[in-house]
Amino acid sequence: MMTIQELNEIKERTLKTMELRLQKKDTGKHVLICGGPGCHSSNAGEIKEVFEEKIREKGLDDVKVTLAGCFGLCETGPNVEIYPEGIFYSRIKVEDIDKIVDSHLCKGEIVEELLYEGSIEDGNIKPVSEVDFYKKQVKIALRNCGIIDYENIDEYIALDGYQALAKVVLEMTPQEVIELMKEANLRGRGGAGFPAGRKWETAFKYPADQKYVICNADEGDPGAFMDRSILEGDPHSVLEAMAICGYAIGADQGFIYIRAEYPVAVHRLEVAIRQAREKGLLGKNIFGTDFNFDIELRLGAGAFVCGEGTALMESIEGKRGMPRPKIHRTAHRGLWGKPTIINNVETFANVPAIILKGADWFKSIGTEDSPGTKVFALGGKIKNTGLVEIPMGITLREIIFDIGGGIPNGKEFKAVQTGGPSGGCIPKEHLDTPVDFASLGKLGSIMGSGGMIVLDEDDCMVDIARFFLDFTVDESCGKCVPCREGTKRMLEILERIVNGEGTPEDLDRLESLAETITEGSLCGLGQTAANPVISTMKYFRDEYEAHVYEKRCPAGSCQALLEFFITEDCIGCTKCARNCPVSCIEGKVKERHVIDTGKCIKCGTCMEVCPVGAVIKR
Amino acid sequence: MEFVFDWEANEENIRELKIFIKENKGKKGALMAVLHKAQDLFGYLPIEVQRMISEELRIPLSEIYGVATFYSQFSLIPKGKYKIGICLGTACYVKGAQEILEKLKEVLGIDVGQTTPDKKFSIDATRCLGACGLAPVMMINDDVYGRLTVDDIEEIINKYK
C-alpha cells in the first residue's frame, strides 16, 4: 500500500533526476527521443540504442537518454531534443548520431545542419519552446507527453502524478469531486461534448450494487491519433483519472476498451497497469482508505461503430458491437445493466489537472462555453503534420497557418475536414471561425475527436464525400434500415457522380436521403453519416454541378472525368506512343503527338513515361 | 480457394487454446478475448475451432460465427505469412493511398482481403493506423513503411519474397 508520504518521497527523489529536462540544472546533458506513433514507426527505438552505445563508448557519464512520448511534430520525425538547452533536432537518421554525440554532447557545439528548420531565425537558434509550432500551444491533456519516460511510473509521480487521486480519496467526498467537475465544465472530448461532471452526477445518484467506469480508447476516426499519443506517452494520467471517476460515482471496476490496431498503446497500458498495481495505486484500499479500484483492458477487433457508447458495451460483453436503443441512460443502465460512465481518453487526461489546479484555473483557459484545451491531429495537405493542443477559441486559421505552417508546395487551401466521418468540410471563407463546440456545429461540422485533415486545390470535394460514405457503408453495423440501406444508396449516387454518370435528379436525391438518414438512424454513426455530403453540398455545390452538368472535375482528381492531353512541349520522342496499352497515341518522330480521347482508357502511362512532362490531365 | 484445417499440425495450438478458455471461462464477456487468442494461434478462425469454442464456452455456434464475422480483424480464411495492411485513413487517402493499393494489387495479383495461393502475402485495407504524420503508410507484419510512393512498392515486396 502506498501512503501520501511515500508518494511525496518518490516525487522528490525522481524530480532530482529530471532537473536537466525541466531546465533547472545546467551541468550535464539529457537526450530526449520522441517515441510517439510516427517516430516510433520510423525507428526511434534503434536511435535510442545507438545513442546509448555511442555515449558509453565516449564515456560520457553525465549524459542521460530517455525515450519519451509524442513531441507532436510528426512531420519532421524522428525527433530528438537535447536539454538543458532545449535544442531540437529533426529527421534524425542512425548515421547522424555520431555527429551529434561528437559535436554537441562532447564539445557543446550545436550541429546546425541537423536542426529543425523552424528553430533558426535570423541566424539565431531558438529553443524548442520558442518554435512557431509550439508557441501558441497550451498543454493540459498532453502535459507529460514528450517529457516523461512513459514506462516509468516514478517520472509520472514526479510531475504530480497520483496527487490528484490522493487528494480526492483522502480529502474530498464524492459529491465534492462531482461539484468541482461540474464547476470546471469539462466537456467530453470524444465528439459530442457532453459535460463530464453532469454525467458523473447522474451515475452517482443512481443506487446500485455495482457500477463501472469505461475509458473509450476505440479511436476510430481516420486521421485522429491524439488518444493513441496520450495512451502511449502518458498512460498513467488516464488510469489516475479513471480511479478518480470511480471514487466519485462509487465504482470499483474500470475497463479500457482499446482498438486492436494500436498494439503499442496496448503494451504500454499493460505495463502501466502492472506498475500502478505494484505500487498499490490500483487495487484494494488505495492510500489506506476503503476505496478499491482496478482496471482491465478489453480489446476491440476492428469495428468503428464500437466507438459508440452502447455498441462498445455490447462488445465488452462479448457480443457483436451493435448500438442499443437509448431507452435508458448508460449512467443508469450500461455495462451488464449497471450504471456506467464512459469518457474518452482525452477527457480523462484532463481530470487530474483539474482536480489539482481547480475549476477557476481550467475555466481561465478557452472560452466560456468550451473551457480548456483541445488536442487536434493535423494531417493531409499541411506542412507541419502532427499533434497540437490549443486553447479553445483560437481560429482555424491560426491552427492551420500559424501552427501548421500552411499548405506545402505552393498550393491553395481549399477546405479543412474536421470530425472524421461524422464531421464536415469547412471552406476558406470560414477560416476565422473560433474553434469551440458550438461554432463548428453551426458550420455543419463537429469538433469530433479532433482529426483535422487539410485539403488543397487538388482534392475533389465530391470524391472526399464519396470516400467518407464508403467508410460509413463499410462500418454501418446493419441494425437499422436508414443507416444500412440509406448510406449504401448515397454511396451509389456519389460513385455515379464521380464516374461522370450523375444526373441532376441525383443531387436532389442525395439531399433527401441525407435528411432521412440523419432523422431516422438509431445511433450517432447513422445520425451523422450524411454530414460529409451535406457540408460539401452546402459549400462546394459548384463542384457537384460541374461533375453532373459538365462532366468535369474542377480539381482534376476524378479519373473518369479527365482527359489526357499532349501539349506543345512534346519533343516527339515516341515514348508515349510505344508505351500506350491501347495504342491510341499517334505522331511522327520529332513531331508533336496526339491522343485519341475516344480510345484512351486514362491509365496515365503516357504521363508517367514522358521525359519532358508534356502530357497533362485536364 | 479452400483452405483445409490441419488438426494434427495444430495439436499444440488447440491444447493452448483449451487452457486459455479454461482460465477465462468465468470472466464476463470472455468470448472476444478467446477469439483474439484463437486468431493469434491459428492466424484465422477456422470453423472447426469456432465449433470447439462453442462447446467449451457453451455459446451457440451461430452467435460465435456472428461475432467472428462482425469484426474486421477476425478472419475466416488464413492470412499470408506477410500480412500487408495498407492504411486507408483520410490523411493517407488524400496523400495517394489508393494508388499505392492499386499498385500493390497489381504486383501481388490479389485483391483486398485475399491471400496469395502460396500463402505468403495477404492484403488488408486497414482503418487509420494513427501514424498520419507518415502518410501514406502501410504495414507488413510489424514493420511500418511511411511516406510511400508508387515506385517504392515493388522493391519493398521483393524484400519479403
Q: What is the pLDDT of residues A72-119, one digit of tens each?
A: 998 898 999 999 999 999 999 999 999 999 999 999 999 999 999 888
**Phi, psi angle pair for A417, to nearest 5°:** -100, 120
CATH homologous superfamily for A161-362?
Answer: NADH-ubiquinone oxidoreductase 51kDa subunit (3.40.50.11540)
In order, the DSSP letters of B54-76 are HHHHT--HHHHHHHHHHSTT--S
Predicted local confidence at residue B142, as pLDDT: 82
Q: B32 and A219: CB-CB below 8 Å?
A: no
A221: pLDDT strictly greater than 60? yes
Question: Alpha carbon of A211 to those of A175, A310, A608: distances in Å?
Answer: 16, 15, 61
| Predicted ipTM beyond 0.85 | yes
Please determine, for residue A43, whether its predicted confidence score (pLDDT) is greater than 90: no
**What is the reported pLDDT for A255?**
98
Measure Cα distances from A179 to A244, A358, A367 in Å.
13, 11, 20
Contact A417 B90 (CB under 8 A): yes
Q: What is the pLDDT of residues A423-453, one digit of tens each?
A: 999 999 999 999 999 999 899 888 888 999 9
Contacts of A420 in chain B (CB under 8 A): 90
Q: Do A455 and B133 touch (CB under 8 A)?
A: no
Q: Of the candidates A214, A217, A218, A73, which has an alpha carbon nearest to the alpha carbon of residue A145? A: A73
- Closest-CA distance, A481 to chain B, in angstroms, reads 17
Among partner residues A42, A261, A299, which is closest to B134 by beta-carbon distance?
A: A42
Amino acid of residue A394: I
**Weakly modelled stretches of chain B, pLDDT under 70:** 1-3
Under the banding of pLDDT at 50, 70 and 90, the label for residue A605 is confident
Question: How far off is chain A from B134, nearest CA to CA, in Å?
Answer: 6
Q: Mind telling me how many Å the CA of B145 is from chain A's nearest CA?
A: 8
Is residue A223's pLDDT more than 90? no
The reply to whether B127 touches chain A by the CB within 8 Å rule is yes
**CB-CB neighbors (< 8 A) of B72 in chain A:** 301-303
B132 and A223 in contact by Cβ < 8 A?
yes
| Residues of chain B contacting A377 with CB distance shorter than 8 Å | 132
The rounded distance, in Å, linking the Cα atoms of A310 and A342 is 10
Q: How many CA atoms lie within 13 A of A24 on its CB side?
A: 6
For β-strands A451-456 and A373-380, DSSP reports them as parallel
- What topology is assigned to A373-456 in CATH? Ubiquitin-like (UB roll) (3.10.20)
The mean pLDDT of A498-520, rounded to a whole number, is: 96
Where do the structural domains in chain A lie, given as residue ranges?
Answer: 11-135, 161-362, 373-456, 461-549, 563-617
Q: Which residues contact A16 (CB under 8 A, 6 or more apart)?
A: none
B45 to chain A nearest CA, in Å? 13
Give the pLDDT confidence score for residue A222 in this predicted structure: 86
Per the CB < 8 A criterion, the answer to whether A393 and A399 are in contact is no
Q: Which residue has the cell 467518407?
A: A468
**Mean pLDDT calculated for residue range A268-275:** 97
Q: What is the mean pLDDT of chain A?
A: 94
d(CA A251, CA A213): 7
Task: Please enumerate in sequence order all residues whose Cβ is within 8 A of that of A603, keeping only pairs 6 or more positions apart, or say none.
Answer: A581
Q: Quick one: closest CA in B to A379, which residue?
A: B91
CB pair distance less than 8 Å for B131 and A299: no
Chain A residues within an 8 Å CB radius of B29: 298, 316-318
Return the closest-CA partner of residue A491 out of A511, A465, A512, A461.
A465
B132–A225: do the CB atoms touch at under 8 Å? Answer: yes
Per the CB < 8 Å rule, is A222 touching B89?
yes
Q: Residue A458, Cβ neighbours under 10 Å: how many? A: 14
Contact A459, A414 (CB under 8 A): yes
**Is some CB atom of chain A closer than 8 A to the CB atom of B74?**
yes
The strand pairing partners of A387, in sequence order, are A377
Is any Cβ of chain A less than 8 angstroms from the Cβ of B71? yes
CB spacing of A318 vs B32 below 8 angstroms:
yes
The DSSP H or E segment spanning A415 is strand A413-418
Task: Tell me if chain A has a CB within 8 Å of the CB of B32.
Answer: yes
pLDDT at res. A367:
95
B130 neighbors A217 (Cβ within 8 angstroms): no
How far apart are alpha carbons A580 and A373 in whole angstroms? 55
CATH class of residue range A563-617: alpha beta
Q: What stretches of A465-614 adopt beta strand conformation (E)?
A: 564-566, 585-586, 594-595
Domain topology for A461-549: de novo design (two linked rop proteins) (1.20.1440)
- Cβ(A249)–Cβ(A174) under 8 Å? yes
- Best interface-test mutation with A: which of B62, B128, B143, B147 has the largest number of A CBs within 10 A? B128
Kindly list the residues from chain B whose CB atom is less than 8 angstroms away from the CB atom of residue A268: none
Q: Does domain A11-135 fall into CATH 3.40.30.10?
A: yes
